[in-house]
């Protein structure tokens, strides 16, 4: 499960590698309001967790592992706590079961993306120029512009596939975590938390709370920022394979 403004395409390469190394099927999903999934005015973790629970049941998946990055990580944690019977274990990538304020970057990205939508661009290079004042990193701009598509194939105008107005309204709550009290609910199966040591999303002071919600958790630190999987794919692959390989 991808993060905000991502899609299943982000995880295609890693999914193929994990399927090969683990000898397991890997399903990549588009969370609601992202990729090819339907748009809905409600965008929060209980709703996304319910969507994924339905996907698991519809496909008859038995004891699946949930792997999620960022927004996808909180979705995986929420589902594991909401329906532990559906899940065998989880891998949470650079997020924690706490309320945090989202970085102001995300609101800025939406402003830039709205400018592009209003401009009616026909070339990605023009969209990139419009986005540059809002985000200096070429890599992040390319990631965001991956959401552009032509709604009408007969017209050259490109628009964003994600519903920007819905996501803008959801931003205030996307840093929240729906479960507050680990004495009421916990996931007593294995959980791997992978954090980027140059990211601020999993601070040392939240580790005790992770342990209360997920008492069997393991922590792996990777020298990366928030985009752990794309920054250090080999270290990430090793951590996940080691966690999921059958134990002696």
Residue 88 annotated to the active site: no
Give the C-alpha separation, 132 to 134, whole Å: 5
Is 39 in the active site? no
Spatial separation of the C-alpha atoms in residues 150 and 166, rounded to whole Å:
20
CB 186 within 8 A of CB 159: no
Q: Choosing from 70, 83, 88, 154, which is the catalytic residue? A: 70
Q: Rounded to 5 degrees, what angle do the CA atoms 177, 178, 179 make? A: 95
Distance of CA 216 to the CA centre of its chain: 22
Q: 3-state SS string over the chain?
A: CCCCCCCHHHHHHHHHHHHHHHCCCCCCCCCCCCCCCCCCCCCCHHHHHHHHHHHHHHCCCCCCEEEEECHHHHHHHHHHHHCHHHCCEEEEECCCCCCCCCCCHHHHHHHHHHHHHHHCCCCHHHHHHHHCCCCCCHHHHHHHHCCEECCCCCCCCCEECCCHHHHHHHHHHHCCCCCCCCCCCCCCCCEEEEEECCCCCCCHHHHHHHHHHCCCEEEEEECCCCCHHHHCHHHHHHHHHHHHCCCC
Q: So which residues are the catalytic ones?
A: 70, 226
């Amino acid at each position: 499960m991808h993060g905000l403004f991502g899609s299943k395409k982000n995880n295609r390469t890693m999914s193929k590698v994990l399927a090969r190394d683990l000898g397991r099927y890997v399903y990549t999903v588009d969370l609601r309001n992202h990729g090819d999934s339907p748009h809905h005015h409600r965008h929060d973790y209980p709703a996304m967790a319910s969507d994924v629970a339905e996907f698991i049941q519809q496909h008859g998946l038995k004891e699946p592992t949930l792997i999620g990055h960022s927004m996808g990580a909180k979705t995986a944690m929420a589902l594991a706590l909401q329906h532990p019977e559906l899940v065998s274990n989880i891998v949470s990538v650079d997020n924690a079961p706490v309320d945090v304020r989202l970085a102001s970057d995300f609101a800025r990205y939406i402003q830039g993306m709205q400018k592009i939508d209003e401009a009616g661009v026909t070339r990605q290079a023009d969209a990139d120029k419009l986005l540059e004042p809002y985000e200096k990193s070429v890599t992040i701009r390319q990631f965001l512009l991956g959401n552009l598509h032509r709604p009408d194939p007969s017209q050259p105008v490109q628009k964003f596939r994600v519903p920007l107005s819905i996501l803008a309204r959801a931003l205030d709550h996307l840093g929240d975590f729906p479960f507050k009290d680990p004495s009421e609910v916990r996931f007593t199966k294995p959980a791997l938390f992978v954090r980027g040591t140059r990211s601020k999303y999993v601070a040392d002071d939240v580790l005790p709370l992770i342990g209360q919600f997920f008492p069997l958790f393991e922590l792996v630190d990777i020298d990366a920022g928030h985009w752990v999987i794309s920054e250090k794919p080999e270290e990430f692959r090793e951590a996940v394979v080691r966690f999921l390989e059958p134990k002696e």
